[in-house]
Amino acid sequence: MDLQLAGRVAIVTGASKGIGLAVTTTLIEEGAHVVAASRTRTPELPDKAVHVPVDLMDPQAPAEVVARAVEEFGRLDILVNNAGGPPPGVTLPHAGFMNSDDATWQAMFEFNLFSVIRMIRSAVPVMLEGGGGSIVNVSSVSARQPAVVNMDYGAAKSALTYVSKAVDEEYGPQGIRVNTVSPGPVLTPWWTDEGGAADVFAGMVGSDRDSVITQVAPEMMKLTTGRLVAPQEVADAIALLVSPRSGSTAGADLVIDGGCLKEL
């Protein structure tokens, strides 16, 4: 399928690894120009990506990224707000409402909600000037499924899903579609890095990291597929959503979770 992305200009945040890296690579393979925003440039990031080293916790960073896209390519057609998860200094998973103070909650919302709001605010005028565009925000199944684990993260993602639908309602008639994808557990460095989620869960349940990834987590989260989601599976969905081939998909939330969510 030709996704009709050749020559389009995209920004991808959190582009250096995991889902963001898969999205960046996929869009470049489809012929798009990609401005990749992340704190550092990893060796895996394609040479064709224009890297902007930014910390999205900095309120000025989103405008800097959008300005670079305009400087390099003269327009902006696609925005993928992928950056999210634990902000610097915070380890996930963590459990218990009383175990997170104000600073933890504020940092979680700053990274997972306010940085996205600022990216959208910076991108919308440029997209309107170019006749429209497509925005995909990476939310989470945690936005739909309250739990005692990662409560602050889930709350921030719930707010992100709401904002996404509301922004689509305002700007969809002007040619800017806004959708979300809600992944379940995805096999990214968030899980696999030393001290990451697999190690934390292993300590919680008295197991080892490999068993957590291959058996404990899929069973605990009741994944129908029996395995964690591959980053490329999320990237493929995002590439389709930002494509003109999804021109009538607006204000939607696409769940890619291995069957984690069971409700209607």
What percent of the residues of the chain are helix, what percent strand, and what percent coil, each to the nearest 5?
45, 15, 40
Does residue 171 have an active-site annotation? Answer: no
Query: Which residue, chain included where needed, has tokens 């394609």?
Result: 46
Q: Which residues of 131-161 are buried (b: 16+ CB within 10 A; e: fewer)?
A: eebbbbbbbbbbbbbeeeebbbbbbbbbbbb
Per the CB < 8 A criterion, the answer to whether 107 and 39 are in contact is: no
Closest Cα to residue 166, out of 178, 151, 152?
178
Picking from 124, 151, 126, the residue whose alpha carbon sits closest to that of residue 135 is 124
Catalytic position from the list 73, 111, 153, 191: 153
- Residues 6 or more apart whose CB falls under 8 angstroms from that of 170 comprise none
Beta bridge partners of 37: 13, 52
Task: Return d(Cα 112, Cα 71) in angstroms, integer.
Answer: 27
Q: In 17-78, where does DSSP find H-type helix?
A: 18-29, 61-73
DSSP annotation of 87: P
* 3-state secondary structure (DSSP) of residue 216: helix
Q: Are 10 and 35 in contact (CB under 8 A)?
A: yes
Catalytic (active-site) positions: 153
